Structure 1
Amino acid sequence: MGLFDFAKGIGHKLFNKDADAEEKIREHIEQNNPGVKDLDVSYQDGVVSLGGSADDAAAMEKAVLMAGNVMGVAEVKADGIQVPASSEKVDYYVIQKGDTLSAVAKHFYGKASEYPRIFDANREVIKDPDLIFPGQKIRIPLDQD
């Protein structure tokens, strides 16, 4: 599962009718804007398309994750976001039942105490490190070689 694919039946419930989806998803992203200017959101049949200009690759990735971790969204297209090139290495992880950020940190970094690194990389996606849910997708910053 890549960055742009999501579990449609899992996530934050932001809208009841598809007609409200664009506005609610835009508000959700802009509320904790990760660094995307002139944000444009469209929604059709579970697919969100994003447009605008991102400060960096992380901002684009966070906007995609914020849109994708919404119930009713199965895919996010970010072709319309202008983003500068990045040298940061990032992996993506889907939270499993029973996961904690400490366990995810231990898996990726070898030390559970590194969980703040994951939380910091996902502040716009995760509001509380103790409140993650199965199916939620997050960014995992990796060490540079």
Structure 2
Amino acid sequence: MGVPLFDFAANVGKKIFNRGEDSITIAQKLQKHIDANNPGISDLDVVFDGDTATISGTAKDAAAYEKAVLMAGNVEGVAKVEAAGLGSPGDSTFVLVKEGDTLWGIAERELGNGSRYNEIFAANREVIENPDLIYPGQKIRIPKG
């Protein structure tokens, strides 16, 4: 099996770099972004080429793996994330936020109960700063259970 590759919407997300910056500078900014709220990745390394971020290191668990992928992918200008050597993703589901979605609505659809939206918020703290502010094109994880 090859390196897991995750697709994202490159035109949405947190703006941490400018188009035209060199790939080394972008990689450093992405690494700093992930390190700022590191979900549990040791020996983190980020490489950026074109519109693809490759992240490597050692994830303490599947949740850390998934969160690191989402942190790298939910950045404007990143269309793909390769997870090289992080371990294995867990059994969470990744959901693409659509126009008009709310965490309540996503919780209702994915977990069967809208009042469980806080579980989704807690599982995505690294990419959702405010549970009332999600945006179309953002990718989030839905924890199992």
Q: TM-score by structure 2 length?
A: 0.90
- 2:65 is matched with 60
Partner of 1:18: 21
Q: 1:45 aligns with which of 44, 47, 50?
A: 50
Contact 2:5 2:82 in 1 (8 A): no
Quick check: 1:90 aligned with 2:92? yes
Letter in 1 for 2:69: V
Q: Secondary structure at the match of 2:85?
A: strand
**What's the % identity of the aligned pairs?**
50
**Whole-angstrom distance in 1 between the partners of 2:27 and 2:130:** 25
The one-letter amino acid of 2:101's match is D
Note the residue ranges of structure 1 that are not aligned, 5 or more in a row.
none
2:78 aligns with 73
CA RMSD of aligned residues (A): 1.6
Structure 2 counterpart of 1:119, one-letter code: F
Alpha-carbon separation, structure 2, partners of 1:45 and 1:89: 29
Ranges in structure 2 where 5+ consecutive residues have no aligned partner: none
Aligned residues: 139
Shift of 1:142: 2.1
Query: Contact 1:49–1:80 at 8 Å: present in 2 too?
Result: no
Amino acid aligned to 1:109: L
For each residue in 1:6-62, what CA deviation from the matched residue of structure 2 results, as whole angstroms up to 9, or x when unmatched? Answer: 111111111013322111111110111000011100001000001111100110110
Moved over 4 A (4+): none
